[in-house]
Amino acid sequence: MVLGMNHDVTKQRDDRYEVVAVANALDLLAKLGEGGETSTAEAGRLLGISRSTAYRLLVTLQSRGFVEHDRISRRWTLGTPFVQMMTRVTGARLRAAALPSMRRLLAEERETVNLAEFLDGELVYIHILESPQAFRMSNVLGERIPLHATALGKAALAAHPPEQWQTLVSGLDFEPITASTLTSPEALLVELEVVKRRGWGEDRSETALGVVCYGASIVGPSGLPLGGLSISLPEARLDAARADRLGTRVLEEANRVSAEIASRTAGSRAAAE
């Protein structure tokens, strides 16, 4: 399908050439990523093009899986294949930024280090460096992490603005995994205050008896959580001094990863300008 653009589809800008049709498509995808949906008329106004041209552009994006159209509401949203592709890209970038920090934590503490990604309100393990010790804690790649019971889950919730906590917490399933698991919104909200103040979350036998975990959020330029770093170990190898150190170190490394992601994002934007 040929897009309904002028025959001269290039324009000069800072001694470089920009393909107008491609620029319009990317601007539209970026807008959908921010606002979630649009109508054909709204897309035309956003891009400064006619409604018919906007429709042809959207249909072309739809044919490639980049957008989807609801025939009832007549609204356009990002396509599932496109969202899945961007999720894979985001996860790869998160792993690349976090790996040095994960290796430092593993070398220092010789305990299992986990990286999780925050997707659609869920945390998922995307990379794990296992402890070299015979008796160690092991998680599963791709496993979804209960937000109410884990160090990473509490850290991710606390990384959101406090005015959003009540809504986030009210939608959770407070499954009692062990006798130590928090099982009420009220108890979790109290703990989120503590996590927010000190910067890291803690799980003491809340998901598995005899297992402790310390986790901190990795945030994006928006300040919202992209994922998190955690360190897991048997409670038998823990004392009070080590507990404080582990929480502090996980927070330090998570902050390093957040800063690295912010730096890379700023660099990419500068290169595009």
| pTM (2 d.p.) | 0.68
Query: Could you read off the pLDDT of 137-193 as tens digits, one per residue?
Result: 777 777 888 999 999 999 999 999 999 999 999 989 998 999 999 999 999 999 999
Q: Provide the token pair at 230.
A: 């955690």
Domains and CATH numbers, the chain: 10-78 (1.10.10.10), 83-272 (3.30.450.40)
pLDDT for res 54? 86
Query: Could you read off the pLDDT of 81-132 as tens digits, one per residue?
Result: 665 555 554 667 888 899 999 999 999 999 999 999 987 788 889 899 999 9
pLDDT for res 270? 54
pLDDT for res 1? 26
What dihedral do alpha carbons 147, 83, 218, 243 form, nearest 10°? 30
**Bridge partners of residue 127, in order along the sequence:** 115
Q: Provide the token pair at 217.
A: 């959020």
Q: Give all strands (DSSP E) within the chain, no chain letters.
A: 10-13, 16-19, 67-70, 75-78, 112-119, 122-129, 144-145, 201-204, 211-219, 225-234
Going by pLDDT thresholds of 50, 70 and 90, the confidence category of residue 198 is very high
